Amino acid sequence: MKIFVTGASGYIGRAVAEALRRRGHRVAGLTRSAVKARGLEAREIEAVIGDMRDSSAWKHAASRADVLIHCAVEYGAQYEALDRETVNGLLACGGRVLYTSGVWQYGAGGPFDESTAFAGKPLMPWRTEHEKLVLAAKGLVIRPGCVYGGAGGLTGLWFEGAVEQKAAPIVGEGANRWAVVHREDLADLYVRASESALAGELFNATDRSRFSVREMAAAASRAAGAGGAVKSLALPEAEKLYGAMARGLALDQHVDSSKAARLLDWTPRFNGFTDHADRFFASWKAVR
């Protein structure tokens, strides 16, 4: 298959692009950076240099693809508008679109499965609208849990705090549990979804680990040499540091991903963040 990936240099998109390439697909990936483009080419991924904002730079490559996977994100004032514009641009290209959403769309509580509607207002209401655009066009939506593995996205914050301030920062007391997934397991789910003939389906992507945030942050802190020290931040303080993301970090969630197991034969291989925290720290340090 021919695949086009936005955010192919990012934490999730890179793993997805590489996993698809390993399966023998022709993969093209969007990046704004000439340096990162060389990194993609080195991994046999065709680099398309351009910005989400300017579809003329990537429309041609995207129109050749059977599957278009959206993993790019630009946080900031344009977050929502740029995401919508990109989703519409990808949908106009004709292939099947896979949209990356997230489990924060469910809010606190659970267990949630794909049939669960959010009670109240999600952290990012617009994201649900973008999901609907993709599902209506017979695309697929994936809602990853908080992703760990390698240098980490969110989990990198714990390593940074442990190294620089001798304590891994958490929002609240940390009795809450995140729904999580290892990046390679997540990439495997994207591969299976891309290779399937499924259309108009939403999938959660979480493993079955149920460690509390405090347990995971303490493991990160130990791995980073801070002896398991964790620093609890009150929500207003965390909002100053992390913006709206702080409310996501404070969520206590239980998310069920058995639909992906059932329809895509997907089995996560990793058992949660704490098992290999030392390896994740080594990775974080290496790419820092």
Ligand X SMILES: NC(=O)c1ccc[n+]([C@@H]2O[C@H](COP(=O)([O-])OP(=O)(O)OC[C@H]3O[C@@H](n4cnc5c(N)ncnc54)[C@H](OP(=O)(O)O)[C@@H]3O)[C@@H](O)[C@H]2O)c1
Check if the beta carbon of residue 53 is closer than 8 Å to that of residue 71.
no
235 versus 287: smaller Cβ distance to ligand X? 287
* Sole binder of ligand X in the list 27, 31, 96, 158 (CB under 6 A): 31
In terms of CB distance, is 13 or 268 closer to ligand X?
A: 13
Residue 51 touching ligand X (CB under 6 A): yes
Give the shortest CB-11-to-ligand X separation in angstroms: 3
Q: Which stretch binds ligand X (CB under 6 A): 6-14, 19-27, 226-234, 253-261?
A: 6-14
Q: How far is the CB of 104 from ligand X (least distance, A)?
A: 7
How far apart are CB 30 and ligand X at their closest, in Å? 6
Residue 30 engages ligand X in binding (rule: CB under 6 A):
yes
**Binding flag, residue 9, ligand X (CB under 6 A):** yes
Among 57, 137, 154, 229, binds ligand X (CB under 6 A): 154
Check if the beta carbon of residue 252 is closer than 8 Å to that of residue 197.
Answer: no
Under rule CB under 6 A, residue 248 binds ligand X: no
Question: In this structure, are residues 72 and 6 in contact, taking their beta carbons and an 8 Å threshold?
Answer: yes
Point out which residues pair with 170 in neighbouring strands: 232
What's the one-letter identity of residue 27? V
User: Cα 144 vs. chain centroid, distance in angstroms?
Assistant: 5
Is the CB of 154 or the CB of 225 nearer to ligand X? 154
By beta-carbon proximity to ligand X, the closer residue of 160 and 166 is 160
Cβ neighbour number for residue 51 with a 10 Å cutoff: 15
Residue 240: CB atoms within 10 Å: 10
Interaction between residue 246 and ligand X (CB under 6 A): no
| 26, 119, 197, 199, 263 from 49: Cα distances, Å | 17, 40, 29, 29, 35
Which listed range, 140-148, 166-174, 189-197, 232-240, lies at the site for ligand X (CB under 6 A)?
Answer: 140-148
Nearest residue (CB) to ligand X, 35 versus 197: 35
Q: 3-state DSSP call for residue 90?
A: helix
| Residue range at the interface with ligand X (CB under 6 A); choices 72-80, 110-118, 220-228, 275-283 | 72-80
Element (H, E) at 120: none
Phi first, then psi: give them for residue 5, nearest 5 degrees: -120, 125
Check residue 150 for interaction with ligand X (CB under 6 A).
no
- Contact with ligand X (CB under 6 A) among 3, 17, 146, 223: 146
Q: Where are the alpha helices (DSSP H) in the chain?
A: 11-22, 34-42, 59-63, 79-91, 125-136, 155-165, 183-195, 213-223, 235-242, 245-249, 258-264, 277-287
Separation between Cα atoms, residue 90 and residue 88, nearest integer Å: 5
Stretch of residues binding ligand X (CB under 6 A), selected from 24-32, 89-97, 237-245, 253-261: 24-32
Confirm or reject binding of residue 100 to ligand X (CB under 6 A).
yes
What does the binding site for ligand X look like in residue numbers (CB under 6 A)? 7, 9-13, 30-33, 36, 51-53, 71-74, 100, 102, 144, 146-147, 153-154
